Each structure stands twice: as C-alpha cells, then as structure tokens.
Amino acid sequence: MSSPVVFPFKSNIDLDRNSNRHLYLQLCDQMIGFIKSGKLAPSSKLPGSRKLSEDLDVHRKTVVAAYDELMSQGWIESIPARGTFISQDLPIISPKKLRGFSNTTDTKNTAGFNFKKRKHLIRKEIETIPAALKVDDGVPDHRLAPIEDIAKAYRNITKKVHHRELLTYGDTYGNIDLRKALVIYLNQTRGLKITVDNILITRGSQMGIYLASQLLLNDKKTIITGKTNYMTADNTFTEASGVIKRVSVDAQGINTNEIETICKQQPISAIYVTSHHHHPTTVTLSAERRMHLLDLAQQYNFAIIEDDYDYDFHYSNAPILPLASNDAHGNVIYIGGFTKIIAPALRIGYFIAPKEAVDEAARLRRILDRQGDTLLEQTLARMISNGDVQRHSNKVRRIYKARRDLFCKLLQKQLGDFFDFEIPKGGMAVWVQLKKPYQWDLVMAETRKLNLVFINDWKRYDNDNTGHNGFRIGFAALNEEEIVEVIEKLASVLNSIKIT
Ligand SMILES: Cc1ncc(COP(=O)(O)O)c(C=O)c1O
C-alpha cells in the first residue's frame, strides 16, 4: 500500500485565518473534498505532519489535529513505521439500488395508504409577504429573549463532565433539578402547595392540554369551554373524542351559573379555563366565580383544566393567584410554561396535578415523546435558581406594559370610531370588536396592500359563528415604531372605506 506523495498540498490548500472555523477543521474539509473528488486516491501516502505544516505555514499541532480528526472519521489511516495514508475503505456511503425497482421521484404528495384526515385540524394559512409588518394574536417578542443568559448557562452545564449523563435516556417526568426548582418557584409565585411528585415537565403548555384531554375525554366525555375559546384547545378536545359544550363568557369570565345548570343535567368530565386572562377576550375570572367553580368541581367530580399560559403578564395590580392555589380537593390540572416568558421556541412547560393523574399523564407522554430536552431543562433549572428567569420576566413585563399603554392610547385616539375594546389588565393582546358594518375580510385585504399582514384568520375567534366581529391584536411583539405603523395603516384603511 504505498504510492508516493505527489499531491501539491501547498498550492491547493487555502486556509482562511479570519474565518470562525478552526484552521484544522478547514484543512480537514478541504482534504475530504480532494478525497471525494478522487484527487487524493485511496492508499496514497500523505506528507508527515512536520512537512505539511511547513508547506502550509501553520503550526504542526494544526496538522496533527487535522490528521487525528480525519483518522477518527475513517478518511485516513496510520500504518506504524510507514506513515499516514488515505484509507482504502473510505467512509462514503453509496446506497445500492434495489434490483427490479424502477426509478421513483424523490418527492411524493400522495400517500399509497389510507389514513384518517382530520378536517378540524386544518388551519387556514394566511400567506405572508416577506417584507411586511406582521401582526400576531398575542405572542412574546422573541427579539427580547435572554439568549445570552441561556447560552451561558447551557455552555456551563455542557462543560461539566458529570453532566454528560444528561445525554442519555432520562426521566419521563422531566429533569429532577428543574422539577425541584419549579416546586420552589411555583409555590412562591403562584401560591401552590406542590411537591416534585405533582409535576410533569412537558414541551410547552400545548402538550399539557393534550395530555389532560387524553386523560379525561375519551369515549365522548363532555368538556365545557367558553363560547369564545382558544381554538387549539378546542381542536385538542375534539381530537380526544370529547364533546364540547359551550357557556357564555362576560366581563367576569366564564359563566359558572351556566356550568352549574349543565352539571345538573348531565355528567361532565372537565372544564377548560384560561382564568387569568380568558383567551381570546382577555377578561379575568372573578373571585366569586373562581370559588363557585371550585365548589362545583368538588360537588360534581370534574376536572378543571386551568391553562395559565400568561400568568406573568399582569399589569394593573399583582397577578391573581390561580384556581390551583385554592384546590383543596384535587380537582385542578394546572398547565403553564416558559414559552411566553422566554420564547415560544423554548419548549418547556409543566403539567401540575395530584400525583396519580401526573403518573398517568407521564405514561401517556412516554409513548408520544420519551422525555424532554434534558440539557435545556437543566439550563432552565439553573436560570430559575439563579434568578435569571424572574429578572427577565420583570423586564419584559415592564416593556409589554408600556407597549399595551401606547397601543391602547393610539387605538382609542385614532381608531376609537371603528373599534370597541377594553384595556386588557394583562396578557399580550387586545380584544377588539370591529364595529358593524365594517368587515374584517375587507380591512385585512386592504392593510395587505400597505404591507401590513394579520397572520391569523379572524374567523377562528368565532367558534359558534355568531358574527361578533371580535379579533385579538397582539401588541407585545411590536416595538413602539411598529405599534405606530400598525395604527396608522389601520386608520388609513378604515378611513378610506366608504360605508353606504
Ligand atoms: C391560551 C393558550 N394556551 C396554550 C398555548 C400554547 O402555549 P405553548 O407554546 O406553551 O405550548 C397558547 C399559545 O399561544 C395559548 O394562547
């Protein structure tokens, strides 16, 4: 096995000392390229590290590191007392075609098998325009996410050798340090009285809603929600074969007298509430109705799925403690997470319930998703324990409050003739009702022409087709300039619509 070194490395290798990529990796990349293209043939001998480092004018350690890397990947091999050679068996996978099969196209749209198509899960996608200003229905501003803090904590964790064990299969219930940190955090901030046994870590609140629905709703069990409700929760309940019954929602939140009437007529399994700020109308469930709901749950043995998705964003006074903080009889499944405080892509949430319900949810979770992202969970545990999460949450709360104030002030001043709305006490969106006869379809089509796109379909808020003309406009993800732009463009469109 040896052919002489004939390849002119000096004139062919080009290393960029200003690049962020290590020199030894650049050398590897280029050598692999020459091997793949056949310029460096299998079994050909490579120059010694000293010679190559002189040719390339790099430190010898750079060449040694590159050779080590290429060796570990199987591109080159070292033969004692003879030198280093391009491997005879290169690590290039060349798949063999199955004999007798004709060429097929790579992308296929139509499945050659049958499956259930769930019409209720199809969402109307609003086409966006790349350069347009996009308005959501109340999500956090990802530009404010504490990415440096996350990266620092993540780096520190991955550096520690003993944390390597986080890379193997772990606990389905979630990282134990995060669950311990959450016990302190949730008991302090939400008045809960939980232990680690009451916590299942999820991938965001949505997984919690899904698990709760699977636990409670199979075989056409009944769940009560508001007449306007978070559409994805409704879809989740329908998917779990639950039957949704709706009750009205007013300025006090969901109507508990109507719930009581239904309970007297038939068994119900659960009620879904966004008690802190009802989704979509943003109203807070009153203290009286909270007590009523807890009493009903105890009396009629149903579960309250309390989705506290935006607990941290309450602006007028201290946040109102969740129903879960007064749950003396184990009726509440409390769902929340960090996607709203930190960033939607940080998929960590929690499902809090009596232990036996948590155990069952964990079994269900395991067949869907074996476990969470343990390294990220450990990172979050550290950020909760060292106060980073609370600091960040205080910071964004102040920013969102200022944005809410500006948005509502301009909305009132420039668009008061066109919309009915209340200033929301918290959350990330304003519930606005477009006065009749104005129509959202026309307004949205016209704002598009001005490069302003509402990314949600307004019809999703009218589950019962009542024609209430209500819509959620998110303010949290818009900075001050963007808020001004949204209001001005809306005003220009609405003022130009002729009502006959
Ligand atoms: C009311 C409500 N619940 C739950 C969720 C889901 O949140 P997550 O991203 O944590 O899954 C959302 C998301 O917008 C929401 O608005």
What are 203-230's pLDDT values in tens digits? 999 999 999 999 999 989 999 999 999 9
Report yes or no on 287 lying in a domain. Answer: yes
Q: What is the DSSP letter of 119?
A: G
Percent of the chain with pLDDT over 70: 97
**H-assigned helices in 75-168:** 147-159
What are the tokens at 235? Answer: 């879809």
Q: How far apart are CA 270 and CA 216, in angstroms?
A: 7
Q: Please confirm whether the linkage preceding 130 is cis (ω < 30° from 0).
A: no
| Residues 442, 347 within the same domain | no
For the ranges 73-82, 102-111, 143-152, 462-471, the lowest mean pLDDT is seen at: 102-111
Same domain, 278 and 366: yes
Say if residues 382 and 153 touch (Cβ distance below 8 Å). Answer: yes
For residues 361 and 439, membership in a common domain is answered with no
336 lines ligand 1 (CB under 6 A): no
CA-based angle 356:358:364, to the nearest 5?
110
Q: What is the number of other CB atoms lying within 10 angstroms of the CB of residue 193?
A: 13
248 and 301 in a single domain? The answer is yes
Q: How confident is the model at residue 369 (pLDDT cuts 50, 70, 90)?
A: very high
Residue 70: burial class (beta carbons within 10 Å; 0-12, 13-18, 19+): buried
| Overall average pLDDT of the 388-403 stretch | 96
Which CATH number characterizes residue 403's domain?
A: 3.90.1150.10
Counting ligand 1 atoms within 8 A of each CB, the residue from 232, 308, 310 with the most, and so the one to mutate, is 232
3-state secondary structure of 255: coil
Does residue 412 share a domain with residue 269? no
Res. 463: pLDDT tops 80: no
Q: Which domain holds residue 484?
A: 133-144+392-496
Both 250 and 300 in one domain: the answer is yes
* Helix, strand or coil, per DSSP, at residue 249: strand
Residues 413 and 373 in one domain: no
**pLDDT tens, position by position, 84-124:** 999 988 887 677 777 777 666 566 788 989 999 998 888 88
Is 173 among the domain residues?
yes
Output the average pLDDT for the chain.
93
- CA–CA separation, 437 and 420 (whole Å): 13
**Which pLDDT score is estimated for 171?**
96
Atom 7 (ligand 1): residue with closest C-alpha?
A: 205
Clarify whether residues 324 and 225 are in a common domain. Answer: yes
Structure confidence by residue, pLDDT tens digits, 115-161: 999 988 888 888 888 889 999 999 999 999 999 999 999 999 999 88
Which of 142, 206, 234, 281, when mutated, tests ligand 1's pocket best, judged by the most ligand atoms within 8 Å of its CB? 206
Residue 115 lies in a domain: no
pTM across the whole model: 0.88
Residue 481's pLDDT is what?
98
Both tokens assigned to 341: 């405080």
Q: For position 4, what pLDDT does the model report?
A: 59
137 φψ region: left (φ > 0), alpha (ψ -120 to 50), beta (else): alpha
For the Cβ of 330 lying below 6 angstroms from any atom of ligand 1, the answer is no
- 156 domain residue, yes or no: yes
Contact predicate 375/166, CB 8 Å: yes
List, in sequence order, the alpha helices (H) in 240-351: 256-265, 287-300
| Contact indicator for 450, 493 with CB cutoff of 8 Å | yes
Give the number of the atom of ligand 1 that is nearest the alpha carbon of residue 336.
Answer: 10
Contact 392, 384 (CB under 8 A): no
